[in-house]
Chains A and B, each alone.
Chain A
Amino acid sequence: MVDIVFIDHDGAEQKVEARTGSTVMLAAVTNGVPGIDADCGGSCSCATCHVFVHEDWIEKVGEMNPTEEAMLSLNPDRKTNSRLSCQIPVSEELNGLIVTTPEFQF
């Protein structure tokens, strides 16, 4: 199990345990983390699991594929550390990962 910290837009923190091989989106949804809708269920096609990755972790979460880039590029709230959490696989290297959820999901 791997620890992931979700911080909401007001700064409230929630630490959850995630299973390796799962995704950051699933970790949020199965642990009732608010602010992640994940309408499409993880097929990288709705952009409602948008998170901001803490700068210390941005390299460790890996690269975006073109589909994720395409979905995020239509979101006006997008920042340089934006990711879709359904596209971040949980691995041992991500133990302690910190992500912030946006105020709104599109």
Chain B
Amino acid sequence: MSDVSALEHKQSKWSMVGKDAYAMPLEDIDLSHPGIWQANEYLPFLERLRKEDPIHFCKESAVGSYWSVMKYNDIIEVDTKPDIYSSEPSIGIVDTFYDLNLPSFIAMDRPKHDDQRRIVQPVVAPANLKNLEVLIRERVCKILASLPIKEEFDWVQLVSIELTTQMLATLFDFPFEDRYKLTYWSDMTTAISGGGVEQSREERLAAIEECLAYFTRLWNERVNAKPGFDLVSMLAHGQATRNMPPDEFLGNLILLIVGGNDTTRNSISGGVVALNENPTEYGKLRNDVSLIPNMVSEIIRWQTPLAYMRRTVIQDTELGGKKIKAGDKVIMWYVSGNRDEEVIERPNDFWIDRPNARHHLSFGFGIHRCMGNRLAEMQLRILWEEIMQRFQFVEIVGEPQRVYSSFIKGYTHLPVVLHPKD
């Protein structure tokens, strides 16, 4: 990131960086601004809202007015009433997907959502994942074998991004040598100006065009071939998707790219951060690697790689005693529900043998629940199994750099040194 743009954002009148969450008027709390997320200062704000105003209305922000839903059970209520809380036109806090208007099934209601999702769901069905496990393990081993030893490197680049990008290339049956394009396109669509990833709107639009052209070529190849078991072929042959207009094709592609990329990437980095901050838990893991599957769920809760999902109310309703009007935006802060003291014991502790660790909000609930959840869990499980075979300690040796976003909760840079097992 360029220092100038970072500074400008920190000085934005909307930023809450450096402010005391408990000293400001409740109504001034605005979680939508990326500043406190990048600065890792968000927790006290979430805690205060959960305690004092769990259904909170922010009247004014850089992205307009919106409701924040802070508590676990209220979030489940919103997520399970899609007929009141619509996913259209967008699941991001702004109406367009970071200023591009691309329809995709995550931002559609029934029945179209269901029809399109059903087409691609089988690729991440557990039965298919079982077949992918050997391949994923091979790739994980290869990546881990290529890492520098006792020498600083960026875990985000060499492990988190590399592994998720390879996985995406497999799911799309995307030419392996061009796989870095997937990461680039993903970053280009999710980056907010000033986040340091993209240079300009023009460059971003050019990237999106390149993405569409590339996938259109793959589509044309596959639509005339026998149906295959990759996402492009599934979309090209699926009854509910084969006649999609180009913007919808692109929208769904980007959904699948971002969904499979930014999320797991940041849980991969987040696990390293969590274990470094909690050495006792790291010790437990060294003593008993059978805790890995449970730890994976705990990492996904603790990290919450997507901080929220947005809904839009389509009929006047009431939530937690507050009257919400048709047209209002409602943000379900999964990251806050995952720290809800009334539902989750010692919620701020990272606890690898936590009972009921699967009981978290990171995948959402209801008909829009993450469809790649089992794939994500499997990738993380295999990665940690193989890390523990090889390394005594993945040591963080510098300050982690976080993403400038209130939506994607993750890391841009994580300097580590590897200490092999004796």
Contact = CB atoms under 8 A, between A and B. Distances in A.
Given A43-B76, A70-B110, A71-B367, A103 B121 contact: no
Contact of B365 (A45, A70, A77): A45
A64 interface: no
Contact of A39 (B80, B359, B367): B359
A77 B366 CA distance: 17
Contacts of A106: 125-126, 373-374
Contacts of B359: 39-41
B299 to A, nearest CB: 15
A3 interface: no
A53 interface: no
B126 A104 contact: yes
A104 B365 contact: no
Contacts of A47: 369
Contacts of A67: 80
Nearest to A66: B83
B76 A103 contact: no
Nearest to B122: A76
Contact of A45 (B79, B114, B374): B79
Interface string B168-186: 0000000000000000000
A98 interface: no
A37 B373 CA distance: 13
Given A41-B359, A103-B127, A104-B127, A74 B76 contact: no
A90 interface: no
Interface string A47-78: 10000000000000000000100110111110
B125 A76 contact: yes
B204 interface: no
A94 interface: no
Interface residues of A, number: 21
Q: Pick from B130, B359, B365 the residue with the most CB of A within 10 Å.
A: B365
Taking chain A's interface residues, is the majority helix, strand, or loop, or is none over half, making it mixed?
A: loop
Nearest to B127: A104
Interface centre among A40, A70, A103 (most CB of B within 10 A): A40
A71 B369 CA distance: 10
B114 A74 contact: yes
Contact of A74 (B117, B127, B130, B373): B117
Given A39-B359, A70-B114, A45 B80 contact: yes
A10 B127 CA distance: 15
Interface in B361-388: 363, 365-367, 369, 373-374
Contact of B118 (A39, A46, A74, A77): A74
A45 B85 CA distance: 15
B413 interface: no
Contacts of A40: 76, 359, 365
A73 B130 CA distance: 22
Contact of B114 (A37, A46, A73): A73
A104 B378 CA distance: 13
Nearest to A29: B356
B222 interface: no
A37 B377 CA distance: 14
A51 to B, nearest CB: 15
B80 A77 contact: no
21 contacts: A37-B358, A39-B359, A43-B80, A46-B365, A46-B369, A70-B110, A70-B114, A70-B367, A71-B366, A71-B367, A73-B118, A74-B117, A74-B118, A76-B118, A76-B121, A76-B122, A77-B127, A103-B127, A104-B125, A104-B374, A106-B374
The 8 closest A-B pairs by CB, nearest first: A104-B126, A45-B365, A45-B80, A45-B366, A39-B358, A76-B122, A40-B365, A76-B125
Interface of B: 76, 79-80, 110, 114, 117-118, 121-122, 125-127, 130, 358-359, 363, 365-367, 369, 373-374
Given A37-B358, A74-B114, 13 more contacts: A39-B359, A39-B363, A40-B359, A40-B365, A44-B80, A45-B366, A46-B363, A46-B365, A46-B369, A73-B114, A76-B122, A104-B126, A104-B374
